[in-house]
Structure 1
Amino acid sequence: MILIYCPDLTARKQYIFKHIFKRMMQTDYDVTSDLSAFVSHDGIKFSYGNKPLGDEMFIWSMGLLDEHGIDDHAIEMTFWDDLPAFFAAPETSSLPFDIFSAAFYLITRYEEYLPQVKDEYGRYSPQESVAYKNNFLALPLVDLWMNKLSSELSVGEITLSRKRNTHKKITFEIGSFYKYRHRGILVNLRSFSKSVRQLNLSRAVNQLRVLLNLAIDPYDNIQSILDVLRATISGRSLREQVIFFYHLGNFTGTDTGTTYKSKTYIEQIKHVGDYTNLGLRFSSNADQRQVLQEEKRFEELLKRPLGATMAAMSKISMPGHYKLLVDTKSVEDYSMGYVNMPGYRASTSQPFYFYDLDYEVQTPLVIKPYALHYNAIMMQTLDGQMASVRSVKNSLKHSGGNLTVQFYLEHFDSEINSHAMKILKYLIDE
């Protein structure tokens, strides 16, 4: 067991200690402010505070975990051997930086509470992040820090376990089950007019053929996706490794997908649910009323409890989106990542509980981050896409982390020249 001497145990310290030692390292730990108990402990131990007690292992605290609310902390980079780090510590510290404050800063998305420039869809831009600005976005840095910390804490014959419940997960976000069919007159008119204006007459003709039931809808390929998945992954593993997130919201100017009132749509979702896990893709800019309404709709229409959710196009604002989910029955959210750039938004591949910095409390909501969205690489050549996938996989080799990749159903559109199916096969074959 690890014993931590800490004179003042705050909610932030409780959260990060539990996440690191119990969930990531899967080891027992305790925190004490009793000096005699700390001195007499024979196992692994260290102190965390402003100054060391004596000659024990000491990790310096820069003060972030003692604060309440949000402050704009200066981020100045340093290194821990070959790993980038920040919140540099004085020489009295056994580590060259405050590892607990830095990890807390990254996984709580502390910087996303600060004023920021958003992208064209109103999302937090990866270029705004400390990870991008300091060239570690491609690293699951928190995971690598914790591997190194476990080595530092292993003393003599006592070796600290670094077990990982690693997994591979592939998710599909489905804003609309069909491209033309069951989409409504106005949506189809806009699509047809766009094709004509762009002189894409073959697409306009194909749209008419689909609407006249003379051709298959370009999005009607989920059975092909299922066949590819089932050829390599079977049974329980398929349900554990694959999630399809469906939109069941109302028709709006932004959400123009297939209506949840379509019997064919619901039957197709249930068919997919016979083989894989199902989740709910919330409407764009969903408010509390919509979130609760769509959660109820999911359970009533599909006759199963809601366990996994995601925001449309990963549009989350901290902490707004997650605050909405805390009041629902959903227990896992898969929106933590960047749609337009590979990398680790929270600098970790491991799941973590949402910590509400406004109320200084850990919530029951588990965040499952993803490392790669196919949208970020779809404009590359096939060789380039393969290289991007290999790069993400290589970043996880030393951390023992989780590989989660997301797709839109549109990526498999039969009217475009897409390599999505080849990348999907490559992911599952590996």
Structure 2
Amino acid sequence: MILIYCSHITSRKEYIFKHIFKRLMLQDFKFTSDVSEFVSHSGVKFSYGSKPLGEELFIWSQGLLDESGIDDYEIEYHKWEDLPVFFKAPGNSTIPFDIFAASFYLLSRYEEYLPQVKDDLGRYSAKESVAVKGNFIMMPLVDLWVRKFLILINRSFDVSLKREQKFNTTVAIEVSSFYKYTSRGIIDNVLMLWQHLRRFKLRHFVQQILVLFGIKTDPYDNYERLIEIIRSKWSYKRKSIVSKDDMIFFFHLGSYNRMDNGTVYRYREYRESIKKIGDYVDIGLRYSFYCNDKELKSQSKKYEEISNRPLRKTMAAYSKIVTPGHYKRLVETEKLEDYSMGYETMPGFRASTSHPFYFYDLDYEVQTPLLIHPYALHYKSISGNMLNGQKQIVRQLKQRVIEVSGSFIVMFDYSQFEKGLKSHATTLLEYIYEKEI
């Protein structure tokens, strides 16, 4: 049992201490504001506040966890040996920064509540983040801080507390359109034919005609090959509870619009394929780009009717979560897992962690039941690189996640596996699952 002296307990403190000690360190802890209880405790203990009680292990409190609401902090970057830090502490602190406030700032996505310049799709821009400005976007920094802090605790109290967590790999596939030509509307196909002609893409024009007449299969019809890749990693080609490799398909079931112009859910072949894929791997729902409260409920209902299973795993189209709006809607409708926490435009850790964490609502100052699974890489962000360059980025990110026994999640768009497309997507997918990279 780790005892923590703290004069005042807040919802923010309860959230971040529980995440760090219970979920990351896998250790029990207890708060106390009783000095005599703290002094008499013979096990692991430390104080957290503005000044130490005596000569104990002391972590300085910057003050963020005692506040409510949002304030625009000026972030200054420093070092804790080899790791970047912010919220620098005075010299009497055992570690040189407030690890709890800094971790809360990153996990709560505090910066995304502040006024910001959005990208062309209305998303929070990666370039605006403290992770990019502090040059730690490629590091699961919160996890690395916690690992280092645990080493310090073991050394300070001559104990051997261990984190018995296992590294795992998940490929998540965003299915914005299940078919390129088949089961698409007449207007869509006519427009695509015209675009092929206008751009002198005669091979694509002929391919589309052959697909529409049933002579060739649709170029997106490739899911069996993808499923076979993950099944080859499982014993007896069946997923078990101890498997370290996983795959999830997220299907679009929203209305047709300018941004979501793929296969519509009414086509029988699409619905049957969703059920078939769900027999082998995990499936979830990709909410449409223009998804208000009504659409979110409607699309959730469609998913459950088609799949014959309750909806748990979700993601937002193009990772447009617009913190905290989208997450609040998920909490209200009790859709309790999200895979949108990442950047399509840049590899790295948006929340500076590779472990799942619960969404903390800064408006209501409360931890919610929504579990967020952050992804480390979207293939869109590296698709223009040479294969060796893509592998190098995957290797760098994966090794970082292995260090902290986290979850290595990589996002793809289903269209990136198009047959005949000059893409390294399939090769990289196989590489992601390799044991040694």
TM-score by length of 1: 0.98
Q: Secondary structure at the match of 2:78?
A: strand
Residue 290 in structure 1 maps to residue 291 in structure 2 = no
- 8 Å contact from structure 2 (residues 168, 245) kept in 1: no
Residue matched to 2:226: 225
TM-score by length of 2: 0.96
Worse-matched range after superposition: 234-243 or 2-11: 234-243
Aligned counterpart, 2:307:
302
Identify the residue that residue 136 of structure 2 maps to in structure 1.
136
Distance 1:317 1:165 in 2: 31
* 1:62-141 matches, cutoff 5 A: 62-141=62-141
Q: Which runs of 5+ in 2 are unaligned?
A: none
CA RMSD of aligned residues (A): 1.3
State the Cα distance separating 1:239 from its structure 2 match. 10
Separation of aligned partners in 1, 2:131 and 2:351 = 9
Which whole-Å deviations, capped at 9, do the CAs of 1:342-368 have from their partners, x for residues lacking one? Answer: 100000000000000011000000000
- Give the one of 267, 287, 294 matched to 2:272: 267
Matches within 5 A, 1:3-22: 3-22=3-22
Question: Which residue identity does 2:434 align to in structure 1?
Answer: D
Alpha-carbon deviations, 1:266-325, whole Å to 9, x = none?
A: 111111111001100001131111111111111111100111000001111010110110
Tell me how many residue pairs correspond in the alignment. 430
Q: Confirm or deny: 8 A CA contact 1:306 1:329 kept in the other structure.
A: no
Partner of 2:383 in structure 1? 378
Contact 2:167 2:244 (C-alpha < 8 Å) held by counterparts: no
Partner amino acid, structure 1, of 2:376: A
Structure 1 residues 321 and 191, CA, compared in 2 at 3 Å: closer, same or farther? same
Counterpart residue number, 2:213: 212
Query: Match of 1:106, as an amino acid?
Result: L
**Contact 1:140-1:348 within 8 A present in 2 as well:** yes
**SS across alignment from 1:407:** strand
SS of 2:433's partner is helix
**What is the correspondence of 1:21-420 to structure 2 with a 5 Å cutoff?**
21-154=21-154, 155-233=156-234, 234-237=237-240, 241-420=246-425
Q: Secondary structure at the match of 2:94?
A: coil
By how many angstroms is 1:196 displaced?
1.7
Output the CA distance in 2 between the equivalents of 1:170 and 1:339: 15
Unaligned runs of 5+ in 1: none
How far apart, CA to CA, are the structure 2 residues paired with 1:218 and 1:185? 18
Work out whether residues 169 and 245 of structure 2, in 8 Å CA contact, stay in contact via their aligned partners in 1. Answer: no
Asked whether the 8 Å contact 2:354–2:407 carries over to 1, the reply is: yes
Paired residues of 1:266 and 1:301 also in contact (CA < 8 A): yes
- Of the structure 1 ranges 384-393 and 65-74, higher mean CA displacement relative to structure 2 is found in 384-393
Distance 2:363 2:425 in 1: 40
Query: d(CA) in 2 for partners of 1:240 and 1:354?
Result: 25
Q: In structure 1, the residue corresponding to 2:148 is in which secondary structure?
A: helix
- For 1:253 and 1:140, locate their aligned partners in 2 and report how far apart those are by CA, in whole Å: 35
For 1:394, the aligned partner's letter is: Q
Query: 1: CA distance between counterparts of 2:409 and 2:45?
Result: 34
Q: Share of identical aligned residues, percent?
A: 51
Greater Cα offset, 229-238 or 96-105: 229-238
User: Following TM superposition, where does structure 1 have runs of at least 4 consecutive aligned residues deviating by more than 6 angstroms?
Assistant: none
Distance 1:239 1:186, change over 3 A: farther
Distance in 1 (CA, whole Å) between partners of 2:164 and 2:51 is 31
Contact 1:239 1:275 in 2 (8 A): no
Alpha-carbon shift at residue 394 of structure 1 (Å): 2.1
SS in 2 for 1:236: coil
Tell me how far 1:240 sits from its aligned partner: 6.8
CA 1:157–1:97: 2 relative to 1, 3 Å? closer
**For residues 187 and 123 of structure 2, what CA distance do their matches in structure 1 show?**
27
Query: What amino acid sits opposite 1:2 in the alignment?
Result: I
